[in-house]
């Protein structure tokens, strides 16, 4: 018997050793290619890049995986408790694998064999970290064994808190959100510290299968799973019985976070910053790098820019009539049909509506139903009315294919879909997206910080940024740089140039430039040439200086990268952008200092290290720890001086004349010194105005995307200057007026503004003109470009105004 027992014992021992050997061999083969768990030390997950306005307000977020990394110390205990209750209640006790939970899962799976149910898992949080970071999600024995081995090793190498931190920042929650901080924002638009018990429990329910507990498609299953988590929190002592019962009565309350731009009216600005970051650092840095971008945008000025440009575009567009409905639908079930049409997301003032009936007194309309966060249409039918007086502009057809209507009944057909804007009394005003477009930029001339940028009527209508991407002819708004080149090279504001017809022959072709409106004024000062925007004078001046000099200055100011030195370019026939023009005018406004326009103040990486800063000025001793009667620190401005400060002041003074008595007279009504220049291109295809006060520069243009005439009289003075005026009034509201700085040594002499010669006492045309040291008004009246005329009499005959221009002078002609 003993021998038999020994026999069986020997067999058992051999069998055990064989199995042990086989297991050892298996484990050896499995572990020989295990990934290195030490990579967890350098864990740097894809993190959301966040973009902020100058005041810190969140503008936009960019991410492939919407994640914000939180250290474990920043995660509330309630949140930790919810995930431990849902995923691994023994997390702080087991060594990486929960043996009790494992056996429980094995028993359940054996009982469920043949039932078709999915096997129950028993993975601990540590095992999930091993799988998510180091292994695949394959449902195989090999993967589970590797997972267990790695879990033991991870537990030996890292603290429990570090493992939980990795887990809570890595797991996927659905809706493209990763990590608990990103999920809290995505699902509830809250930080983790603001989450309620019910919200925390729902988020803890998601890692098991986000699609199984979708808040809208699987709402009942989501609530059931959430309540299960709440019960486990109560069972484990993290939540009281009463608080748990109260939490289970709450709805899911999911309010998905808005994607893209979060700050009103900032879409064009944030998109331009996005492009610049990609150009500078690449896609991965933007979408995975967790950058913190502080932009220069001023939300108040940005809102003013959007409002004034939109108002100007609508005013022009409505004067030209109604384009017709956006679409026509059947009105049987008009709410559902209308809900299918996408309205402009960035024009919340407008609503889509369908015409239900129209008569002589107005039109009855049905408004587009609102939608829930899930996109489900709220079944409601809200109606309203457009009174005839609120749509009279639409009686005229912009298409030109029918006569003007006499009432709303002649404008609308039943089923027409249009935009409306609510007004007082529960009625609506008819609106339409304008065909004409434009761009506007506002900048701090002392730093180059772009404070506002509008790239068109609506980003929802068109993402093309007309402030930075549209290449347009600046027209006469380029002239100040021709005159600045002249003033920097021996001419004065009182120099006289012939304003008379001229022919330029080049390549066998004859070019005959003309003044806007035709005619000529004879001999005129540079000041008058700017104020009245005289084309013929500008061409003669450029011809006298040489276009190579004009080209050099245009490139120095950043208007063009490489300007073709032909005379037509002196009238702004080249193509540039609004941003470049505003940057160039900023040089004039700040006394000639070089400007590097920037939409970005600072960029920090995910660790808070500054990797870009726009401010290049230095300030020694600005960070003194205490005051020991030392001098105040000063900012050292090392920027290049690209224009003589005196020249900058002279051209500024001349452009103040544009505003007070020139082509923008009566259009600019600010309570402070203002300089600027209108611009109108050939056939009125573009209307410009660029101007500035001592502390703010702004510029804009209006035109069709496919350049076409705006109509007779559609000039920079009539279209763009009023928009500039309204914008500047809003942007400068509440700020103290300041004066343009007069450079030391500048001298002012009274001159006749027509002849440019020193004024006689009592001369009604006297103006105080700014002259550089060593210069002044001419003693003898001379005319640049007048040599083609045989005699003074011919000059007098060249224009009815020429005679008047010389009679007030002292001294003879030439």
Catalytically active residues are 87, 476
Burial of 191 (0-12, 13-18, 19+ CB in 10 A): middle
Measured from the Cβ of residue 279, the count of other Cβ atoms closer than 10 Å reads: 8
- Give CA–CA dist 792/813, Å, rounded: 6
Q: What length does the chain have?
A: 814
> Which of 325, 344, 340, 339 lies closest to 415, judged by CA?
325
Q: How far is CA 130 from CA 100, 104, 106, 135, 804, in A?
A: 20, 21, 21, 7, 92
Strands 686-693 and 696-703, bridge-based pairing: antiparallel
* Cα–Cα distance, 698 to 700 (Å, whole number): 7
Instruction: Starting at the earlier edge strand, list the strands of the sheet with 49-52.
Output: 58-62, 49-52, 292-295, 600-604, 610-613
- CA nearest to 679, candidates 711, 717, 707: 717
> Can you read off the two tokens belonging to residue 15?
């069998």
Q: Any bridge partners for residue 593, and if so which? A: 641
8-state DSSP, 401: S
Backbone phi, psi, residue 695, to 5°: -125, 5
Q: What are phi and psi of 327, to 5 degrees?
A: -165, 165
133-156 in b/e form (b: 16+ CB < 10 A) is bbbeeeeeeebbebbbbbbebbbe
Cβ contact 486:545 at 8 Å: yes
Among residues 243, 235, 679, the alpha carbon closest in space to that of 472 is found at 679
- Distance CA(596)–CA(309), nearest Å, equals 25
> Cβ-count burial of 320 within 10 angstroms (0-12 exposed, 13-18 middle, 19+ buried)?
middle
């Amino acid at each position: 018997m003993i021998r038999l027992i020994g026999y069986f014992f020997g067999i058992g021992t051999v069998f055990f050793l064989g199995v042990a050997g086989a297991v050892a061999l298996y484990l050896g083969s499995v572990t020989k290619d295990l990934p290195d768990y030490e990579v967890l030390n350098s864990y740097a997950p894809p993190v959301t890049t966040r973009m902020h306005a100058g005041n810190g307000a969140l503008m936009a977020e960019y991410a492939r995986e919407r994640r914000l990394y939180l250290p474990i110390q920043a995660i509330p205990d309630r949140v930790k408790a919810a995930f431990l209750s849902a995923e691994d209640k023994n997390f702080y006790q087991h060594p990486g694998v929960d043996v009790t939970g494992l056996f429980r899962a094995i028993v359940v799976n054996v009982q469920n064999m043949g039932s078709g149910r999915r096997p129950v898992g028993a993975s601990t949080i540590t095992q999930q970290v091993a799988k998510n970071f180091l292994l695949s999600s394959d449902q195989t024995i090999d993967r589970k064994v590797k997972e267990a081995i790695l879990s033991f090793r991870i537990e030996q190498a890292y603290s429990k808190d570090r493992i939980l931190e990795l887990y809570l920042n890595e797991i996927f929650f659905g809706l493209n959100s990763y990590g608990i901080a990103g999920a809290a924002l995505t699902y509830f638009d809250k930080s983790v510290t603001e989450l309620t018990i019910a919200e925390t429990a729902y988020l803890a329910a998601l890692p098991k299968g986000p699609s199984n507990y979708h808040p809208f498609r699987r709402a009942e299953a989501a609530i059931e799973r959430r309540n299960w988590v709440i019960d486990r929190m109560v069972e484990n002592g993290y939540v009281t019985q009463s608080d748990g019962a109260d939490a289970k009565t709450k709805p899911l309350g999911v309010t998905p976070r808005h994607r893209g731009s979060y700050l009103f009216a900032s879409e064009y600005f944030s998109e331009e910053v996005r492009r610049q970051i990609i150009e500078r650092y690449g896609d991965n840095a933007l979408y995975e790098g967790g950058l913190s971008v502080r932009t220069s945008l001023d939300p108040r000025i940005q809102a003013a820019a959007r409002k004034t440009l939109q108002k100007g575009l609508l005013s022009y567009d409505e004067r030209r009539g109604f384009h017709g409905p956006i679409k026509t639908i059947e009105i049987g079930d008009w709410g559902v049909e209308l809900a299918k049409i996408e309205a402009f997301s960035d024009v919340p003032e407008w609503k889509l509506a369908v015409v239900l009936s129209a008569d002589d007194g107005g039109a009855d309309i049905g408004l587009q139903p609102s939608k829930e966060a899930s996109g489900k249409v709220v079944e409601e039918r809200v109606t309203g009315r457009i009174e005839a007086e609120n749509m009279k502009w639409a009686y005229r057809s912009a298409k030109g294919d029918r006569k003007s209507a006499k009432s709303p009944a002649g404008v609308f057909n039943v089923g027409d879909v249009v935009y409306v804007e609510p007004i007082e009394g529960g009625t609506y005003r008819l609106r339409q997206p304008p065909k004409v477009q434009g761009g506007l930029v506002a900048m701090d001339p002392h730093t180059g910080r772009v404070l506002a940028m509008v790239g068109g009527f609506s980003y929802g209508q068109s993402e093309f940024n007309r402030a930075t991407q549209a290449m347009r002819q600046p027209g006469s708004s380029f002239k100040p740089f021709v005159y600045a080149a002249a003033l920097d090279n021996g001419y004065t504001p009182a120099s006289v140039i012939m304003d008379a017809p001229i022919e330029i022959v080049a390549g066998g072709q004859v070019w005959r430039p003309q003044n806007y409106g035709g005619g000529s004024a004879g001999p005129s000062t540079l000041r008058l040439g700017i104020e009245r925007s005289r084309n013929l004078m500008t061409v003669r001046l450029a011809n006298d200086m040489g276009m190579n000099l004009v080209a050099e200055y245009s490139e120095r100011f950043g208007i063009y990268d490489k300007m073709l030195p032909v005379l037509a370019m002196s009238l702004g026939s080249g193509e540039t952008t609004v941003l470049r023009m505003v940057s160039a005018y900023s040089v004039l406004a700040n006394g000639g200092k070089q400007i590097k326009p920037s939409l970005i103040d600072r960029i920090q990486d995910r660790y808070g290290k500054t990797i870009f800063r726009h401010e290049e000025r230095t300030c020694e001793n600005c960070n003194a720890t205490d005051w020991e009667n030392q001098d105040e620190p000063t900012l050292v401005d090392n920027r290049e001086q690209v224009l003589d400060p005196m020249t900058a002041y002279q051209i500024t003074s001349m452009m103040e004349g544009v505003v007070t008595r020139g082509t923008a007279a009566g259009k600019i009504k600010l309570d402070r010194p203002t300089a600027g220049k209108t611009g109108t291109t050939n056939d009125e295809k573009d209307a410009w105005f660029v101007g500035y006060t001592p502390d703010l520069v702004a510029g804009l243009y209006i035109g069709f995307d496919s350049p076409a005439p705006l109509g007779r009289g559609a000039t920079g003075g009539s279209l763009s200057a009023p928009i500039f005026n309204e914008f500047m009034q809003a942007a400068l509201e509440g700020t103290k007026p300041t004066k343009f700085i007069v450079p030391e040594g500048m001298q002012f002499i009274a001159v006749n503004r027509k002849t440019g010669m020193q004024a006689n006492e009592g001369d009604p045309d006297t103006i105080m003109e700014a002259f550089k040291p060593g210069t002044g008004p001419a003693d003898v009246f001379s005319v640049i470009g007048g040599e083609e005329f045989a005699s003074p009499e011919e000059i007098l005959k060249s224009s009815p105004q020429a005679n008047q221009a010389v009679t007030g002078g002292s001294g003879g002609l030439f």
